[in-house]
Amino acid sequence: MDYALQVKDLSKVFGQQRALQQVSFNVKKGEVFGFLGPSGSGKTTTVKILTGQLLQTAGEVNILGKPASKMKDADLGRIGILTDNSGLYDRMTVQQNLDFYAKLYKAAAGRVEEVLQLVGLAEDKKKPVKKLSKGMKQRVLLARAVLHKPEVLFLDEPTSALDPGNVQKMHDLLRDLNREGTTIFLTTHNMEEAAQLCDRVAFLHEGQIREMDAPNQLQRKYAKNTIHLELKNGQNETIENNPTGAERLYQYMQAEEVLAVHSDQPTLGDIFIEVTGRKLA
């Protein structure tokens, strides 16, 4: 199997605090992997270790086949990073910012124009960054992160400060990038976002992975064997998915009282609460 990321028994201790404990997972090339957890669960620490910014206390971390802590400058050219606190040179224009990074990464000629089109900022390229909205700045950051066509893209809460319209645009961009072959490692506490974008997700809680699988597999695993009925009289009823429940449903249908039938499929948020006993925040 060709893996972009391999993490085995990763632990990180800060003083007395255990930030990560025996975390293990692999991310296949071309996969969108969601790393989900509330604030303080260890997501950002994991990204910092994966990108060589922080050294682990124990365990093995390989990125594109090499230990993360031994990445050379050239290896950094194979990854892209977008964190929620990434900065831009706000006195410079969008194009000046991207031209600068294109030179640092030795991106192909014409790539700046290409990514400007990709993120929908071609019309605004002459604007100083300080005059852009938060959503536009986030798109510039994404453009910068993908300028050099990274093989692995790390996104740490990429939509945390965006309105729903911009979140949708960002999701479309990420899908396009993934279709082009970029492996995406997404950390978020937004379960809806993870369900929409990720091939697989891992739930991180208090520094440990509590569950890991494809979102639909998790939904199947944690599905309740019940069906939810909405009745014409305004009442709701939950029935078991078994012969007794079928009998009950048949009765309601014969009496023409059924307005809608819903499955009780849990969301990723519901599953997270069930697994960890706490809500995401």
Mark 205-234 with x for binding to another protein (rule: CB under 8 A) and - for no binding.
Answer: ------------------------------
Based on the shown chain and the rule CB under 8 A, indicate whether residue 109 belongs to the binding site for another protein.
Answer: no
Cβ proximity to another protein: between 44 and 219 the closer is 44
Q: Which of residues 15-54 bind another protein (CB under 8 A)?
A: 51, 53
Beta strand segments in 29-92, E: 32-36, 58-63, 66-67, 79-82
Q: Please give the Cα distance from 92 to 273 (Å, whole number).
A: 44
Least distance to another protein, CB of residue 4, Å? 17
86 binds another protein (CB under 8 A): yes
Q: Which of 30, 38, 59, 77 binds another protein (CB under 8 A)?
A: 77
Angle at the Cα of 275 (from 163 to 265), degrees rounded to 5? 65
Dihedral over alpha carbons 3, 149, 102, 93 (to 10 degrees): -120
**For residues 42 and 207, is the Cβ–Cβ distance under 8 A?**
yes
- The residues in 133-192 that bind another protein, with binding defined as CB under 8 A, are 144
The span of 90-98, 167-175, 223-231, 272-280 binding another protein (CB under 8 A) equals: 90-98
Among residues 208, 213, 209, the alpha carbon closest in space to that of 198 is found at: 213
Stretch that binds another protein, among 1-9, 92-100, 186-194, 268-276 (CB under 8 A): 92-100
Q: Is 209 exposed, middle or buried (CB count within 10 Å of its CB: 0-12, 13-18, 19+)?
A: buried
Q: Does 105 bind another protein (CB under 8 A)?
A: yes
**Burial of 193 (C-beta count, 10 Å sphere; 0-12/13-18/19+):** buried
Does an H or E element contain 156, and which? strand 152-156
| Bridge partner residues of 93 (DSSP) | 128
The residue (of 110 and 277) whose beta carbon lies closer to another protein is 110
Q: Does 89 bind another protein (CB under 8 A)?
A: yes
What is the nearest approach in angstroms of another protein to the Cβ of residue 14? Answer: 14
Minimum CB separation of residue 46 from another protein in Å reads: 15
Short-list 231, 171, 230, 235, CA closest to 34: 171
One of 101, 185, 203, 272 touching another protein (CB under 8 A): 101
In whole angstroms, the minimum distance from the beta carbon of 64 to another protein comes to 14
The verdict on 92 binding another protein (CB under 8 A) reads yes
Binding flag, residue 81, another protein (CB under 8 A)? yes
Q: Considering only 72-80, 115-123, 173-181, 236-244, which stretch makes contact with another protein by CB under 8 A?
A: 72-80
CA 89 from centre of chain? 26
Contact at 8 Å (CB) between 169 and 141? no
Q: Residue numbers of the site for another protein (CB under 8 A)? A: 51, 53, 73-74, 76-77, 81, 85-92, 96, 100-101, 103-106, 144
